[in-house]
Amino acid sequence: MSAALSEPTLLESSRVISEGGPTPGSHGLEAGPPPPVRHTFRFEEGRVDPDALRVVRKLVAAGFEAYIVGGAVRDLLLGLTPKDFDIATSAPPEDVPRVFRHNCRIIGRRFRLAHVYFAYGGRTYEVATFRRNPGERESAEGDDESEDLLIRSDNAFGIAHEDALRRDFTINALFYDHDHSTILDWTSGMPDVERRIIRTIGQPEVRFREDPVRILRAIKFAARLGFELSDEVYSAIVAHRDDLARAARPRVFEEVLRLLRGGAARRSIWLAWDTGALAVVLPELAAYLDDMESSGDGRALGALDAIDRMTAERGAPPDDAVLLATLLREPIREWTQGARNREEWRASLDEKLAEMGERLAITRRISETLARLYSGEARLRGGRVGGFLATPLGPLALDFAKITAAADDAPATHRAWLDAVQLPVSRGDERTKGAAEDRRPADPRSESRSSDRERPARSAHRAGTRVHRF
């Protein structure tokens, strides 16, 4: 997957300069502050965000501990480009603005975080005070299946090793000190990155019962990074997947979208189906995939493949509305196929989305967006364009139509027609002034409608812009 994992290996290219940390299987959750395993490791200067380093250095100069943490360290080790550089520090939230007097704001009510921003680059860096789990409940308590371990508040400050141990997976609990060329590891995260395996910090049964959304996060990381779920994690997901029904619906909804955004939508959904987690969150889709095994109908997985290709080609995923419409397409199509007219179709659609909304927080606004996308895709499937492409949802319907055409193995002529459809551009674009020609190519299946005209209009769709971020 990455040159970073070729010879020499991570552990060979790093040097352990002090022993400590957890014994195998315990992951450091015993009482007392265990020392970390310190690996001598320095990323090339150009790979670490210079402004993130500025934030860390200013906090350290002010007398606080500060590290680059979490996913950024993991991605750097894998040779990937981190999306964000998060910073953990011993500085209380109220002290961070005193260090960054002109470019810091405090956010959050339940738990306060500092955002340090740099106007010239438009980047914002999250600075979080070290936290801990309010009360550690370990194996003796975790053995009681009747006990409610669901975490409802984690608003407690801590110290560095407690902050590492409260995190979900070992690969996300590494702390990087750039100026001392050191990675601090309390959880055996470095060996797990090397072995490309997903393990929880502590017992997976306890961790998933504390926060069932971690089940979807485990699936996401395994799919996106090409890692394997450890046997213990896989078994715990299967055993506690029903706990997903107890998680907050908006969090589950957001995590489902994240399964689709990372360029590994097909493997993410397949893993969710294979472990049974999908049957809890989206039983309609899980049942469809169950039937797919015997029928050989590969449209749902083919659509997810198309999402992954589009993400790879563009360097960014399609809009959230397109992702959700694609994910729900086959269950919705089965549910509404008996509708005799548009009114019956819309009533069936609303009924099914309301039922799904009990599990995924699908609001009326989202339902309306999906209905318009399904209608727009049907128009394009029939070779019609019209003025709807000039609306904010027009470009999204075009993306959706390209995905469904690939999934349905549509004729090459139709797919080429979709690729040739041009979106309306700004009236102020000098390149289009005076253009009066129809910008649509003729669809071989709809030549009788080729005289339709498309109104030039301002498009709300720009590369990299999410029109509907749910």
**Catalytic, out of 49, 163, 168, 319:** 168
Whether 168 is catalytic: yes
Q: Which of 51, 84, 297, 305 is the catalytic position?
A: 84
Q: Is the Cβ–Cβ distance between 160 and 184 less than 8 Å?
A: yes
Helix 265-275 × helix 283-295 angle, to 10°: 90
Q: How far apart are CA 139 and CA 142, in angstroms?
A: 5
Amino acid identity, position 108:
G
Count other C-beta atoms under 10 Å from residue 394's C-beta. 26
CA–CA separation, 296 vs 351, rounded Å? 28
What is the torsion angle, in degrees rounded to the nearest 10, for the CA atoms of residue 109, residue 111, residue 112 and residue 113? -130
3-state DSSP assignment of residue 4: helix
Nearest to 304 by CA among 230, 173, 449, 403: 403
- Distance of alpha carbon 227 from alpha carbon 397, whole angstroms: 33
Q: Which of 49, 86, 211, 243 is catalytic?
A: 86
84 labelled catalytic: yes
- Tokens matching residue 217: 């996060």
Tokens of 112: 């306060």
Question: What do you get for the CA distance between the two ends of the chain, in Å?
Answer: 31
Instruction: Provide the annotated active-site residues.
Output: 84, 86, 168
